[in-house]
Structure 1
Amino acid sequence: MSARTAPSHPPRLAPFLAGYDALLARWPVPVEPLTVRTAHGTTRINACGPADGHPLVLLHGGGATSTMWYANAGAWAAAGHRVLAIDLIGDPGRSVHDGTPLGDVPGMLGWIDAVLDELGVRTADFCAHSYGGWIALEYTLHAPTRVSRLALLDPTLCFSGYRPGYLLRALPLFLPHRTPARARSYLDWEAAGASPTDPDWRELYALGYADFPASPVITGPRPTPARLHTLTTPLLALYAEHSRAHDPHRTAEATRHSLPQATVATIPGASHHNLPMTAAPAVNQHVLDFLTPPCP
């Protein structure tokens, strides 16, 4: 079900929204903007690909917006998937958190249930990045029958913790008097030594960080080994060679140890934040190979 009118945003968000639309215009396929209403507010979904294709739900990282999939969605849609890129509610983007608070992890998972229900999606593949990866893994553990395959791109707090240095560097992002310069500095530090971050997305992230109305971040602990051992959904985990969020090689090994049946790979040249963009050819192919396994 899609709403006929778009939700409103404060006028001060005009530069952010213009940047959002400009980055969405770079998607190489026609995009159908959908909005659905839940108890928590209005959720924006950027959809593309054949309407009768198997749904592929995309969850972005914190502050990244669904426009971050500009280098990926076209390839996956061209392969026949119905791509549904969701703006996380309460996060920068075109979703509007004007309903009840999410409150906690069950509230976040219930919101995803409601969005899929409104879209008429009973079962979908999921692909998610960073913080979105943690949400997607928690959702798969919560509703395993609704997730047919799960692809995680440098997921955080799934199989290992953060590096202490990363947390120290990220701490100023949560302090008052937010400025775009603070967000740019953080992204540039994290990408040092890796492929450059797309300047348009970098600026959109910075504007969203500084100006978007903040909702409490819903988070929680890593899934316990006992919970992970209950996971039967096929899983792909791709790690960025130069990720500063965690040690990518140790995290890859932890993933293999926790889920021996998982497909795990490390992608060269990418940092944590820019993995889906700068390493798009490799990421796209890994995900397609995973979503469409060879016939027996």
Structure 2
Amino acid sequence: MTAIYRSERGAGKVRQRYAELLTEWPVPAEHRRVPTREGETFVLVSGPEDAPPLVLLHGSGANTSMWRGDIGSWATHFRTYAVDIVGEPGASAPSRPPLASDRLALWLDDVLESLGLEDISIVAASLGGWVALDYAIRRPGRITRLALLCPGGIGAQTMGWLPKALFLRLFGHRGVRRTAAIVTGLDAPRYQAALDDVVLTFTEFKPRTERLPVFPDDALRTLAMPTLVIVGARDVMLDSAATAERVRRCVPQATVHVLPDVGHAILGQTDTVANFLLDEQ
């Protein structure tokens, strides 16, 4: 597990904070650990057993706890499966399958098979959005609805923020905190608790360094399911304008929202996502 952390002590701090956040999960939940070819995968299951299945995939440097503000709404209508992606700071195995391969799709095959799921809806963010898109392209017909928040793989990754981030790191904890605020866009006072968690994680965690492969137009055109894409116009990590333009051009049935004053971390979209998922249910 420490391979993805800077130290065993740091790994313990992140795991402890994750356990604390899971105690704030606002609805009853079942903790499952399912076997996959990439190692054990942690899944938090909520909602009525007979409700339609909804899989949640978090972003890079995050875990299932990111959905705790949304789950009270979504688990009313769906059987939700919040999955910790392998190789990220959650409770799944530290394996990091290469993105330029089919191994994450095969991993998700294993997760869904272990959970007994076939046709699913997905809500996913950032790296999780890339995983969801990769799966939807490779497994046409298995995803009934797709809601993506700041998804990777459509607009290019941008690196203009990196020189400033490297400079700010010279100023210790204050610099790291300022860097996190720039990267996430969580610079408003109401987001300070969330920013604290980001700072803790990225002080101790070693994120993936490989670039997210960008899906070609022909691959995006195969997406036939109802799709919702929400991006922040202030996103410094992904080209949100290009994401919106390519989705509108290649996935004409998609609904696209560009939030003008939002960065990479997209919060407060619970109702928008729920309304999309429930349309024609």
- Asked if TM exceeds 0.5, the reply is yes
Conserved 8 A contact 2:156-2:239: no
Match of 1:210 among 203, 212, 216: 203
Match of 1:47 among 40, 45, 48: 45
Q: What one-letter code is carried by the residue in structure 1 that aligns with 2:226? A: P
Conserved 8 A contact 2:157-2:212: no
Q: What one-letter code is carried by the residue in structure 1 that aligns with 2:183? A: E
Conserved 8 A contact 1:42-1:97: no
Q: What one-letter code is carried by the residue in structure 2 that aligns with 1:235? A: T
Aligned to 2:19: 21
Aligned to 1:272: 264
Q: Which sections of structure 2, spanning at least 5 residues, go unmatched?
A: 1-6
Conserved 8 A contact 1:195-1:270: no
RMSD: 2.9
Q: For 1:245-264, what aligned pairs fall within 5 Å after superposition?
A: 245-264=237-256
Aligned to 1:244: 236
Secondary structure at 2:141's aligned position in 1?
A: helix
TM-score (norm 1): 0.81
Equivalents in 2 of 1:256, 1:94: separation in Å? 36
Question: 1:172 offset after TM fit, Å?
Answer: 8.7
Aligned to 1:292: 278
Question: 1:256 offset after TM fit, Å?
Answer: 0.7
Aligned to 1:92: 89
The one-character-per-residue Cα deviations of 1:165-192 (angstroms, maximum 9, x if unpaired) are 135556799x9xxx87665332212355
Q: 1:167 to 1:255 in 2, by over 3 A?
A: farther
Aligned to 1:118: 114
Equivalents in 2 of 1:157, 1:191: separation in Å? 18
2:105 counterpart of 1:109: yes
Question: 1:219 offset after TM fit, Å?
Answer: 5.3
2:213 counterpart of 1:227: no
Q: Percent identity?
A: 32
Q: 1:103 to 1:157 in 2, by over 3 A?
A: closer
Q: What one-letter code is carried by the residue in structure 1 that aligns with 2:247? A: T
2:197 counterpart of 1:190: no
Q: 1:162 to 1:94 in 2, by over 3 A?
A: same
Secondary structure at 1:156's aligned position in 2?
A: coil
Q: 1:109 to 1:193 in 2, by over 3 A?
A: closer
The one-character-per-residue Cα deviations of 1:58-90 (angstroms, maximum 9, x if unpaired) are 111100111011111111012x11111111101
Q: Which sections of structure 1, spanning at least 5 residues, go unmatched?
A: 1-8
Alignment length (residue pairs): 273
Q: 1:171 to 1:12 in 2, by over 3 A?
A: closer
Aligned to 1:6: none
Q: For 1:121-160, what aligned pairs fall within 5 Å after superposition?
A: 121-158=117-154, 160=155
Conserved 8 A contact 1:195-1:271: no
Aligned to 1:5: none
Conserved 8 A contact 1:191-1:197: no
Match of 1:82 among 69, 72, 79: 79
The one-character-per-residue Cα deviations of 1:45-64 (angstroms, maximum 9, x if unpaired) are 11211122111111111001
Question: 1:209 offset after TM fit, Å?
Answer: 2.7
